[in-house]
Amino acid sequence: MTNRQQLFFDHLAQTSDFPLALEIDRAEGVYLYGQNGEKYLDFISGIAVSNVGHRHPKVLQAIHNQLDKYLHLMVYGEYIETPQIQLAEALVKTIPQGLDNVYFTNSGTEAVEGAMKLAKRFTGRKEFVSCFNAYHGATQGALSLSGEEAFKRNFRPLLPGIKHITHGKIEDLEKIGCRTAAVVIEVIAGEAGVRVPDVAYHQALRQRCNDMGALLIYDEIQTGFGRTGSFWAFEQYGVLPDILLTAKGMGGGMPIGAFIAPKEIMSVFKNNPILGHITTFGGHPVSCAASLATLNVVQSVLAGGRQEAGGERQEAKGERQKPEGERQKVKGERQEAEGERRKVKGERQEAEAAPVGICNPDPNNGEFAIRTNPIQAKSDLIRSLLVHPKIKEIRGRGLMLAAEFESFEVLKPIIDRAIARGVITDWFLFCDNSMRIAPPLTITEAEIREACTVILEVID
Residue 216 pairs in a beta bridge with 183
Residue 31 has pLDDT above 90, yes or no: yes
Mean pLDDT of the 250-278 span:
97
Mean pLDDT of the 382-395 span:
98
pLDDT (0 to 100) of residue 371 = 59
Question: Of the ranges 86-90, 358-362, 397-401, which one carries the lowest mean pLDDT score?
Answer: 358-362
Distance (Å, whole) CA 397 – CA 287: 27
Distance (Å, whole) CA 251 – CA 105: 11
Question: Of the ranges 51-55, 73-77, 372-376, which one carries the lowest mean pLDDT score?
Answer: 372-376
Measured in whole angstroms, the distance separating CA 135 from the mean position of its chain's CA atoms is: 14
Q: Which residues make Cβ contacts (< 8 Å) with residue 397, sequence separation at least 6?
A: 188, 194, 196, 228, 229, 233, 236, 370, 379
Q: List pLDDT tens digits, range 309-339.
A: 443 444 444 444 444 455 555 455 555 545 5
166 versus 369: the higher-pLDDT residue is 166
- DSSP 8-state class, residue 14: P
- Give the full edge-to-edge strand order of the sheet including 24-28: 24-28, 31-34, 39-42, 423-424
pLDDT (0 to 100) of residue 268 = 98
Residue 431 has pLDDT above 90, yes or no: yes
352: pLDDT confidence band, cut at 50, 70 and 90? very low
pLDDT (0 to 100) of residue 305 = 66
CATH code reported for the domain at 3-55+370-459: 3.90.1150.10
Measured in whole angstroms, the distance separating CA 207 from the mean position of its chain's CA atoms is: 26
Mean pLDDT of the 429-433 span:
97
Going by C-alpha positions, the residue among 415, 376, 410 that lies closest to residue 396 is 376
Q: List pLDDT tens digits, range 218-255.
A: 999 999 999 999 999 999 999 999 999 999 999 999 99
Distance (Å, whole) CA 134 – CA 186: 8
- Residue 255 preceded by cis peptide, ω within 30: no
H or E element at residue 8: helix 3-11
Distance (Å, whole) CA 282 – CA 255: 9
Q: Which residues of 375-396 are buried (b: 16+ CB within 10 A; e: fewer)?
A: bbebbeebbeebeeeebeebbb
Mean pLDDT of the 341-361 span:
37
Q: Which residues make Cβ contacts (< 8 Å) with residue 252, sequence separation at least 6?
A: 50, 51, 52, 56, 59, 290, 291, 293, 294, 297
pLDDT (0 to 100) of residue 128 = 98
Taking each helix axis as running N to C, give the angle between helix 57-67 and helix 285-302, from 0 to 180 degrees, rounded to the nearest 10. 160
Could you tell me the residue ranges of all domains in the chain? 3-55+370-459, 59-300, 313-350
Residue 148 has pLDDT above 70, yes or no: yes
Residue 195 pairs in a beta bridge with 189
Mean pLDDT of the 255-273 span:
97
Distance (Å, whole) CA 63 – CA 389: 46
Residue 298 has pLDDT above 80, yes or no: yes
pLDDT (0 to 100) of residue 80 = 97
Distance (Å, whole) CA 132 – CA 143: 12
Distance (Å, whole) CA 174 – CA 159: 21
Mean pLDDT of the 208-217 span:
98
Question: Which of 16-24's residues contact partners 24+ apart within 8 Å by CB, and which partners?
Answer: 20/419, 22/419
pLDDT (0 to 100) of residue 3 = 86
pLDDT (0 to 100) of residue 328 = 56
213: pLDDT confidence band, cut at 50, 70 and 90? very high
CB contact at 8 A, 370 and 196: no
Highest mean predicted confidence (pLDDT) among 83-87, 149-153, 363-367: 83-87
Q: Is the domain covering 59-300 a CATH 3.40.630.30 domain? A: no
Distances, alpha carbon 204 to alpha carbons 171, 283, 307, in Å: 10, 34, 38
pLDDT (0 to 100) of residue 18 = 86
pLDDT (0 to 100) of residue 164 = 98
Q: List pLDDT tens digits, range 302-311.
A: 998 644 444 3
Distance (Å, whole) CA 271 – CA 277: 10
Round the average pLDDT of the chain to a whole number and report it: 89
Q: List pLDDT tens digits, range 104-124.
A: 999 999 999 999 999 999 999
Residue 350 has pLDDT above 50, yes or no: no
pLDDT (0 to 100) of residue 362 = 40
360: pLDDT confidence band, cut at 50, 70 and 90? very low
